[in-house]
Structure 1
Amino acid sequence: MKVVVLGCGGSAGVPMVGGEDGGGDWGDCDPSEPRNRRTRSSILLQMDNGEAVLIDTGPDLRAQLLAQRISRFQSIIYTHGHSDHVDGINEVRAVNRVIGQPIKAYGTAEVLAEIEQRFSFVFKPWKPPGFFRAVLEAHPFEIGKETAIGSYAFTFIEQQHGYAGSSGVRCGNFAYSTDVVELSEQSLNVLEGVDTWIVDCFQLTPHVAHAWLDRVMEWRERIKPRRTILTHMGVAMDWASLCAILPDGVEPAYDGLSIDLPDPPRANNQQVA
């Protein structure tokens, strides 16, 4: 399995719109370091059998797919309904056209209902031929229950994201926890044993809705992943400065980071949602 980080920025990206000359607000990030230029957070899992699963459709999706030369995936997981993780949903029409079929969309029933309320036309049944709009098929999952997406087993993790919830994702020895500020003991138990963990770390100091560096370090000590990769980073998180202070086994993500991992376990046919 290959994990591709399509974007690792917060809801406003880096740089944020603004700045003295209108060219962008970089905060503490060095504009000359290309790894500080961050689009909204999303990843793609490319499986060894050719299947691919996208996690979230942020507003930068088209540019992300073009930058990473990705044109095919069969499934999308939605971690939650916030705009910076959903609003690129119309861009999947191009992928519908490439693969010639609807794309399966996974999320909690509440999240899928929220997205369908905002983008109802995307979830209307497909009438072939052709795709004049994006076409998704809703497949609700239950937190904590193993679910098959394509040929592979996934487990979804309850997360607290400030005033809302979100879903973490575990697939084999890999886990993804974006947009999270609190993890219950039960959720930490599900994360135990992961080899590689991509986790929300918006800034260095405490935040009401996102994890910060000390909190991630506390979780890391509990979970003990071999590799911890920080994502959903804001303008306080300069790439080189982070590399200078982070311990071995912890690193900041960057747009386009590619991670090679063993293929995860296959799912049983009767588990397919």
Structure 2
Amino acid sequence: GRKLLVDAGPDMRAQFLAAGVGAVEAILFTHHHADHVMGTDETRVLNRITGRALPIYAMERTLDNLRQRFDYAFLPSSGPWFFRPALEPFQVAPGERLEIAGMPLTLFSQDHGVMETLGLRIGDFAYSTDLVRLPEESLALLHGLDTWIVGCFQRAPHKVHANLDQVLEWVRILQPRRTILTHMGSDLDYGWLSRILPPGVEPGYDGMVLRPGR
């Protein structure tokens, strides 16, 4: 099937090997914090597999930051050997509806405290990481979900990440059938969460595979 990678973290190579993932059609970057972009250099392997530059989609500020960190990845292609990554950038913005890797996406704005991040919805599935608040227009886009992956950093309130109480309040409002917590900090123990979370809400884990609607 078609594959869209969301963000390229520092352990991207290890994750790809563990999951048995080969090529992807494109990358969507939610924002430019290091834990979401520092695997970008590894994309040269994806270039070798596909034989072409890799389309990437991100907001203007994120693309600017990627060009600063990985300027060599935006130079003319080094194919067919791709000794450096080759990225083909496309600027996107919250509120856009577009098709990436054959998938119809709706992008929405998230408040990460120090910056705006991108959330995405594909059909009745949505992904929201690195956020502390959701604007009203974004909340409105998240009704009617089957599966929602949402960042939940810790128990206590935090300046730039949603805490457990905030996420559970969003779940109460939106009523997705299934909610998966991600981007969890050290005080959100998997066993403890599994015991105390309400029905339909569960902690994610490395290597988790989701099939929305099942």
How many pairs does the alignment contain?
Answer: 213
Amino acid at match of 2:159: V
Q: Does 1:122 align with 2:76?
A: no
What residue number does 2:146 align with?
A: 195
Residue 111 of structure 1: how far off its partner (Å)? 1.1
Query: Whose helix fraction is larger, Structure 1's or Structure 2's?
Result: 2
Verify the 8 A CA contact 1:141 1:147 in the aligned structure 2: no
Where do residues 17-32 of structure 1 align in structure 2 (5 Å cutoff)? Answer: none
Q: Which runs of 4+ in 1 moved over 4 A?
A: none
Q: Does 1:157 align with 2:108?
A: yes
One of 181, 189, 193 as aligned partner of 2:132 = 181
**Distance change in 2, residues 1:91/1:128 (3 Å):** closer
For structure 1, the residue ranges without an aligned partner over 5 or more in a row are 1-49, 263-273
Provide the C-alpha distance between the structure 2 equivalents of 1:92 and 1:128, rounded to a whole number of angstroms. Answer: 13
Q: Give the aligned CA root-mean-square deviation in angstroms.
A: 1.1
What residue number does 1:73 align with?
A: 24
Where do residues 32-43 of structure 1 align in structure 2 (5 Å cutoff)? Answer: none
Provide the C-alpha distance between the structure 2 equivalents of 1:173 and 1:116, rounded to a whole number of angstroms. Answer: 33
Amino acid at match of 1:59: P
Partner SS for 2:210: strand
Provide the C-alpha distance between the structure 2 equivalents of 1:189 and 1:91, rounded to a whole number of angstroms. Answer: 36
Give the TM-score normalised by the residue count of structure 1. 0.76
Provide the C-alpha distance between the structure 2 equivalents of 1:128 and 1:98, rounded to a whole number of angstroms. Answer: 11
What residue number does 2:184 align with?
A: 233
Residue 127 of structure 1: how far off its partner (Å)? 4.4
For structure 2, the residue ranges without an aligned partner over 5 or more in a row are none
Give the TM-score normalised by the residue count of structure 2. 0.96
What are the Cα deviations for residues 30-58 of structure 1, in whole angstroms up to 9, with x where unaligned? xxxxxxxxxxxxxxxxxxxx210000001
Verify the 8 A CA contact 2:48 2:80 in the aligned structure 1: no
Partner SS for 2:198: coil
